[in-house]
Structure formats: structure tokens, C-alpha cells
Amino acid sequence: MDMDQYQGYHETKVHTSEDFPYNTLPCTIPLDFTSVPLHWHNTAEIIVVKKGSGIIGLDMTDLVCREGDFVLVLPGHLHSIRPLKDENGYVRMEYENIIFSTSLLLARQPEMTSSLIETFLQGDYLPEVLHFSRKERWHDNARMIIEETDLLCSQKPEGYQIAVRGNLLRLFYLIVSRTVRTPGKLRPGRLEKVKLIVKYVEDHFSEPISIHDMAELSGYSESHFMKFFRDTMGMSFVSWLERYRLSMAARMLTLTDDPILLVSANAGYPNLSYFNRSFKARYGMTPSSYRRQSAAAH
């Protein structure tokens, strides 16, 4: 299951037509998914926290987000979502993904306007700079724009696309005029290496993946690759790969009726016993129990 299938889960919730590149995808973690693993895409995304709290990862920085906060993910940047945990277990977070093509911002704009927007979209920012909390003085204006746009996309009055595009430009005015450009922590070369690794794992996680394979893909020796990955991601590649595979397994258990043996194999675990042990160590229950709990929650 790749990130396209993750978005496919929300097909019945998408409010816009296929020829208008602006979609809203509501989700709740850990109810719908335990987490959204690290990924990237060429569209822009705004993650709006509706209720609760959770962690949004942006370019290897964890941002603790609470109700009312939103995070802007620029095209091509790595991001992930996972729940917080307290003494009672995972904390629930309801959020909305607003995913759109930057062509909506750039199409048929005066040269000066296009230049301003392109400069912002291509900027290098600390992740904290793109995390907007309700403490911001202009936050209420941004929230009203987002809510008005959600309503337009839900009701779809004649010509609603014009208003949505206008609202998107209004929102970006608020963001651009109040965002200070500060160099990000990941140099462009390192970011591209990580994106290459993440994309490969996304496409091949059900297959055997070795340190040798990833070192070769990255153009590093095995020892250099292992050091690069640990320094960048804060954990070994083997540990990260296991977390990724288990998150995909959890998703398959929620979304499909496939036998546990098939889920295990599709998640990259040919040995069912090892899969069961690893899954229980990660989620505190067996795959079968997880599936039953997920079904009851829905």
C-alpha cells in the first residue's frame, strides 16, 4: 500500500472535481490510521488540526500541533503525521489535509505576483516557521478563509472554483507577509538523498531491502550510508524500515479483509511468527486484536 492508496482511502470524502486540483481530505488518527509515514509529493499541502493534538513531522523536525494550528508543507518536502501518547494511550487528533497544485496560485498572474509566489514556494525555511498556531494575531482570518473554502467545496455553487482560488491567494498573502525566510536544517543535497530513500522504500517495502541496496542507491559505501541515515533520521535504517513496514501492515489490517499471513507478506515479513512478535512489540497487541479493535472503532 503506497501513499496513493492512502489518499484513495479518502475518495468518498474528496469535495472537489477531478479537473480542479484542490482537495480536502479529513482524517482522524489513530482511528483511521495509526500514523502517516514519512513521504513527499509535488503538490502543496496544508494540514489543519481540527480537534485534539498530534505530531506533524516536517523535514525531520517534529512539530507538536494542537487544535487550531496548521502546518504548510511546500512541494517536495518530507512530512509525516503521528499521534501523541499519554498515560491512557494514543491521543486522538482530527485534522484536514488541504492538497492543491501550486498552478492555482500561479496561473495567469501578473509577473510581479507570480515572482513573489514562486520565490516563496522555492524558499528554504525552518520547519518551525511553517507551523502556524492560534496564538498568531492573524490566525482568526486564516481560519475563516479555510472554513469558508471548505463550505464552498462542500456545496459547490456555480463558479465556486473562482472563489476557492481567490481564497487560496488570500491565505497565501497572510502566510507570505508574515513568514521570515530562514535556512532549513536539511541542506538541499541531503534532502534529495532522503527523498530518494523514502520513495524507494514506499515503492518496494514489501520486498527484501538491504543496507547494500540502499547504499548503492544513495551512492555511498555501506558504512557511510548507515552514518548518514542515523545522523539525518535519528535512528538506524533497519529500525526506520521496520516502523514503516509495521505502519503499512496496520493500515492493511484496517482497510482490507486480507488474511494475516497475506498482510504479513505484503508488509515485507515472510515469517509470520516474526511479524506477529514485531507488531505486538510496536502496537501492544497482536495483528488480529488490532483488526478487531479497529473494526469496533469504525
**CATH for 161:** 2.60.120.10
- For residues 171 and 196, state if they share a domain: no
Res 206 pLDDT > 60: yes
| Domain match, 111 and 239 both | no
DSSP-assigned letter for residue 209: -
How high is the pLDDT of residue 3?
A: 45
Mean pLDDT (the chain, rounded): 86
**Per-residue pLDDT at 11 exceeds 50:** no
Q: What is the pLDDT of residues 13-51, one digit of tens each?
A: 444 455 789 999 899 998 888 889 889 888 999 999 999
User: CA-to-CA distance for 91 and 206, rounded, in angstroms?
Assistant: 29
Would you say residue 8 has pLDDT above 60?
A: no
Same domain, 43 and 136: yes
Q: List alpha helices for the chain, DSSP H.
A: 3-8, 103-106, 111-121, 139-155, 160-177, 188-204, 211-218, 222-233, 237-255, 260-266, 272-283, 287-297
CA torsion 26-29-33-36 (nearest 10°) is 80
Do 220 and 171 share a structural domain?
no
Q: Given this model, what pLDDT does residue 116 score?
A: 75
CB 229 within 8 A of CB 197: yes
Looking at the structure, tell me whether residues 172 and 230 fall in a common domain.
no
Phi, psi angles (nearest 5°) of residue 63: -110, 120
Average pLDDT on 269-285 reads 94
89 vs 221 pLDDT, higher one: 221
pLDDT mean over 93-114: 82
Reported as a single tens digit per residue, the pLDDT across 62-83 is 999 999 999 999 998 899 999 9
The domain total for the chain is: 2
Least confident of 14-28, 52-66, 90-104, 193-207: 14-28
The residue segments making up the domain with residue 42 are 3-177
pLDDT tens digits, one per residue of 158-180? 999 999 999 999 999 888 887 76
By mean pLDDT, which of 67-81, 100-114, 140-154 is the weakest?
100-114
Residue 208 has pLDDT above 70, yes or no: yes
Cis bond before residue 30 (omega within 30° of 0): yes
Is there a single domain that holds both residue 227 and residue 105? no
Q: What percentage of the chain exceeds 90 in pLDDT?
A: 56
More reliable by pLDDT, 110 or 36: 36
Judge whether residue 258 has pLDDT over 70: yes
- The two counts, helices (H) then strands (E), for the chain are 12, 10
Provide the pLDDT for residue 177.
Answer: 82
Cell digits of residue 239: 529500525
pLDDT, residue 15, reads 44
User: In terms of domains, do 15 and 94 share one?
Assistant: yes
Q: Are residues 211 and 157 in the same domain?
A: no
The last residue of a domain, from among 177, 201, 232: 177
Q: Alpha-carbon distance 89 to 103, whole Å?
A: 41
Q: Which of 177, 202, 223 is the last residue of a domain?
A: 177
Average pLDDT over residues 110-120: 71
Q: Is 253 exposed, middle or buried (0-12, 13-18, 19+ CB in 10 A)?
A: buried
Domain-ending residue, one of 150, 177, 204: 177
Q: Which residue has the higher pLDDT, 143 or 16?
A: 143
Per the domain annotation, does 182 fall within a domain?
A: no
The reply to whether 217 and 79 lie within a common domain is: no
Same domain, 13 and 58: yes
Whether residue 150 is contained in a domain is answered as yes
